[in-house]
Amino acid sequence: MRLLSLFILLLSLSVSAGTVYKVVKEDGTVVYTDKPVAGAEKVGLPKANTAEPLATPNPRSSADVEKTKRKKRLKPEYQLTITQPQNEANIRNNAGNLTVMGHMQPKAADGEFHLLLDGQVIHRGSSPQFALENVDRGEHRVKIQYVGRSGKILASSPERVFYLHRFSILHQNQQSN
């Protein structure tokens, strides 16, 4: 791309710096050329318009860069992960109880943790540990979010899938008489 731009620039400079000749052919057509031909008339071209580019201020002064660095130091980037249950874990609990545990670095300051089960917020708390009760059997997806006081999500864990198995009375062994 740079090479093409340079070529076009050099081509336009060579054309603007050259001499132009006007030739009228026998049939009356007019031809302009840069090569002198017998019977050609030199055409005086006006001086090309030029303009000096405006000086643009530096969009980011050193003070702005320092402010950005300070903001980054004040707003840590949180890393939130779910440590329990493992992804695609098979959990067997007839009551449908389980614990979801998370870990966040750096430690939480002034927000709250939200536990999402199948896309819905079901618990809120000050730590990333949640006890779930009477969860239906089947496939479920959990995710933990850390939400600041302003309501903005500051960190979000990757989604985990688990499978809860509960005993069903439909599968009881029937005793023969």
Query: Which tens digit of pLDDT belongs to each residue from 106-117?
Result: 887 788 999 999
Dihedral Cα 127, 131, 136, 140, nearest 10 deg: 30
Distance of CA 23 to the CA centre of its chain: 60
Residue 167: pLDDT band with limits 50, 70, 90 = confident
* Number of helical H runs and strand E runs in the chain: 2, 12
Q: Which residue has the tokens 């132009």?
A: 20
Is residue 120's pLDDT more than 70? yes
DSSP conformation class of 122 = E
Nearest of 89, 109, 108 to residue 98 by alpha carbon: 89
User: pLDDT exceeding 70 applies to what percent of the chain?
Assistant: 76
Domains and CATH numbers, the chain: 75-168 (2.60.40.10)
Q: Cα separation of 22 and 20, whole Å?
A: 7
